[in-house]
Chain A
Amino acid sequence: MADTKREVFLEVKNLRITYETKQGKVKAAENVSFRIHRGEFIGLSGESGCGKTTTALSLMHLLPKEGKVEEGVILFKGENILDYDTKKVEALRWRDISMVFQGAMNALNPVHKAIDQMITALRIHEDVTEQEAKERSLELIKSVGIDPARATSYPHELSGGMKQRLMIALALVCHPSIIIADEPTTALDVMVQAQILDLFNQLRDRTNLSVLLITHDLSVLAETCDRIIIMYAGRIVETGRTDTIFTMPEHPYTKKLISSFPSILVDKEIDFIPGNPPDLINPPSGCRFNPRCDFAVDRCRQEVPPLECENGHCVACWRRHEF
């Protein structure tokens, strides 16, 4: 890991999650392990259905009822969150770990004023007076760049960008140590997205906050994160420092993903990965990327490649050193 001296806040070990469906068991995440240090911004990326949101939801006990953690531990400050009962989880949520959801427009309660929602969240988790809660909320609203005069607005009176800022303010209200942000800018315009990313970068400079940023948009990760985790079909295929991942990716999937990502700075040929992501009810044996991989050999079809680390750059590919 990049900086092992720093305190590990959250550690996920061998997480395996399945969803029960009529067609069979969907193996949504398998053998997922990673750590988040204090003050670190981690990006979790991959395409739809790769298990990134599933992993995030499990951290907060928010999996839908079909979902089940079959195996693994999630250690937060040394305790396994997965063993917590509802009461303990509720105490953890928002206070220690909070979440910013995709599509802020729908995540705020439309019948309550923005500031009231913050005050309520604060007073549920902390023993503070109404006045104190109000002051703290207003301060936060200011810090995310919203005019405090707008605090008493209802969500429909605010624009999409403002609502997303409010969601971030709401997530910060109890001073959590980790924010899980699931596609926080995906529904927003480019300029508003830039404003929100700027806000994240400011938070990084000003506080000790750790962020798990989940998005399919690699360029967003390139601009905000310290480390990146790439998932494919429920497994981690590569992790490493952001610059390593973008300049020297080693897993064929990561390579393809980056080369198919368009950029306005360079004249890239259009690239793509042929085929479709696998069906996770009956995933391919061996490396799950093998049916779409240009370099697959027999071993890739038979044995699952382990995630092996060298200088903090971990890759799950049998042929890592061959090219």
Chain B
Amino acid sequence: MLAFIIRRMMQSAGVLLAVTLIAFVMFRFVGDPVNQMVGIDTPQAEVAKIRESLGLNDPVIVQYGRFVWKALHFEFGISYQFRQPVTKLLAERMPATLELAFTAAGFALVVGILMGVYSALRRDSVVAKVFEAVSLVGVSLPTFLIGILLIYLFAVILGWLPSNGRGQVVRIGSWWTTGFLTSSGLRSLILPAITLGLFQMTLIMRLVRAEMLEVLRTDYIKFARARGLTARAINFGHALKNTLIPVITIAGLQLGSIIAFAIITETVFNWPGMGILFLQAVQNVDIPIMAAYLVMIGLIFVVINLVVDLLYGLVDPRLRMTMRR
């Protein structure tokens, strides 16, 4: 088991190395960073000095090594726009994005599984048909449209929930801020979380439904019925657990996407997260931020994949065997 984890972590390191290479290449080839930093009237000598101080005259391989070394220490340089360390900028905005993403993922997972199980068990009921229709809408409507519709309905017409921002936040520790502890923070979270999670929710619902229908046809479910187990034990004990492997796979990948692609939702709801920071960075060719964002998302995906692999073993004893080898 430990050998498996170590082997997987080494693979992850390889993946991250590739990601840093791409991020670094972006540095090198998307415009000249010095031009972004200096004005038109900066003297040539000054430009050369900045170039030297940034280490841009060193061989490429040395620059890459330095980039990786700094990345290992979570240093991604100074943002061109804000003249502040990129790490500090990201850290300030990370809590907002992560809280939104995990709330959305939790919502998608819980509601998606419940709806999926229900529509598999009561396949012909009206409610199941409604779920099916809703899921079709969720899969096909673009996120920004759903966000705008929700704002229009719940913020503009009904006035129940705030339409933008994060509400009041509480500081925990040196840099984490949370909206979970205030009522305005929680209220602000509802609409963006639903918007961000709706697509994943419908995806999970459809997946659970399909897998569940498959599992309910198997011999061990028939045998469980023949043993007189209660419907609850069969449906939620045996059947649901057997649908979990694909659900974990998809949910894991989707959690990565939720974090990485919260950009649209954050824009719609003016949510002060990393997404907006990234958009601004793209507009202003703020490469340090873009590179750091890329590396960070790579890291998140790699960690999630590792967790997913470990969860497989937790769910399925047969996979535990392959891990031991």
Question: Are A and B interaction partners?
Answer: no
Query: Which residues of B come within 8 Å of A, CB atoms?
Result: none
Query: Which residues of A come within 8 Å of B, CB atoms?
Result: none
